[in-house]
Amino acid sequence: MRLPGRVKLIEVGLRDGIQSEPRFIPTERKVALAHAIARAGVPMLEATAFVHPRVVPQMADAEAVTARENRAPGIAYAALVPNRRGAERALAAGVDEIRCVIMCSETFNHRNVQMPVSESLRQAAEMARLAHEAGVRFVGGLGTAFGCPFEGAVDEKRVRSLVAALVALGVDGVCLSDTTGMANPAQVERLAGLLLDQWPELPVILHFHNTRGAGLANVLGGMAAGVTCFEASVGGIGGCPFAPKATGNICTEDTVHMLHEMGVETGIDLAALLDAARLMEETLGRELPGQVLKAGPRSRLFPAT
């Protein structure tokens, strides 16, 4: 298997991970979690979403979480934005990167943002313009890129046409999301390879959910195609609030452990990352899905008694 020497991981636990949590997590605890994740050497944190608090109450403190005085050192802050107003708020807060998500599925896009894909693209163009005028990176996300729970299979030509539309906007990267865990490694390798063949200079990011247990296998499929940037969530928490039977993202510490065991560098301190996962587990008050958090790393040995 062809493997990269190094992979970049983007932590999404403070956005995608906690967005569906029914109990509001205090701002100071979110800030503490961001600092714990930064201490592990994670290079980028999707810290929040600038959405209406009525839609996602957990993100009501977006400005406070990203306030300069609350920022963790040494880590870039990204934020998800759904529209121009969200982009304006995020840029005023001084985030390092803003991101949008457009669903490849019309049904899911309506369910997610109550508009057709064509309108989401129009708004993405405006958000990209605002971001670049402010000197801030803009990444276009494509949800349900590997399948939709309402429409089923998503045609790869549809995905490629939407990537082409985002490239035409001058995006600084494209993130393909397996929103409800419908992908398989062969599918991931094929689609990511098609995109990298057509746009070899385009930064492609992959975002997987572990709904059906294929998340880490899909990371391998992405690496086999040449992708070197992935998103993951500490503790393996998360799930889209607008999708049926949604479960968590791939787990950051499990992903780091696998990559390091395979000789792929991440620049992340696994022990410090496990400390951040324990803090998340304490914050949520329940056992989290992450496996390395339970079993410990492979190097952990037990007495033979």
Residue extents of the structural domains in the chain: 8-290
174-178 and 204-208: which strand pairing? parallel
pLDDT of residue 33: 98
pLDDT of residue 242: 65
Buried b (16+ CB within 10 A) or exposed e, 145-164: bbbbbeeeebebebbeebbe
Helix (H, G, I), strand (E, B) or coil at 209: strand
Q: Is residue 293 scored above 70 in pLDDT?
A: yes
Report the chain's mean pLDDT, rounded to a whole number. Answer: 95
Binned at pLDDT 50, 70 and 90, residue 175 comes out as very high
Tell me if residue 100 is catalytic.
Answer: no
pLDDT tens track for 123-163:
999 999 999 999 999 999 999 999 999 999 999 999 999 99
Q: Rounded CA gap, 191 and 213, in Å? A: 20
Q: Is residue 52 scored above 80 in pLDDT?
A: yes
Q: Rounded CA gap, 255 and 266, in Å? A: 10
Q: What percent of the chain has pLDDT over 70?
A: 98
Distances (CA, A) of 214 to 155, 185, 205, 221: 20, 8, 17, 10
Distances (CA, A) of 283 to 57, 110, 267, 276, 292: 17, 33, 26, 10, 18
Q: Regarding the domain with residue range 8-290, which homologous superfamily does it belong to in the CATH classification?
A: Aldolase class I (3.20.20.70)
pLDDT tens track for 237-287:
997 666 666 678 999 999 999 999 999 999 999 999 999 999 999 999 999
Q: What is the mean pLDDT of residues 164-176?
A: 97
Least confident of 19-23, 111-115, 237-241, 280-284: 237-241
pTM over 0.85: yes
Q: What is the mean pLDDT of residues 41-59?
A: 96
Q: Contact at 8 Å (CB) between 112 and 150? A: no
pLDDT of residue 2: 82
pLDDT of residue 83: 93
Least confident of 86-100, 106-120, 208-222: 106-120
Active-site residue (options: 104, 148, 240, 251): 240
Beta strands per DSSP E along 166-304: 174-178, 204-208, 229-232
Q: Is residue 111 scored above 90 in pLDDT?
A: no
pLDDT of residue 291: 96
pLDDT of residue 248: 85
Closest alpha carbon to 208 in 244, 248, 241: 248
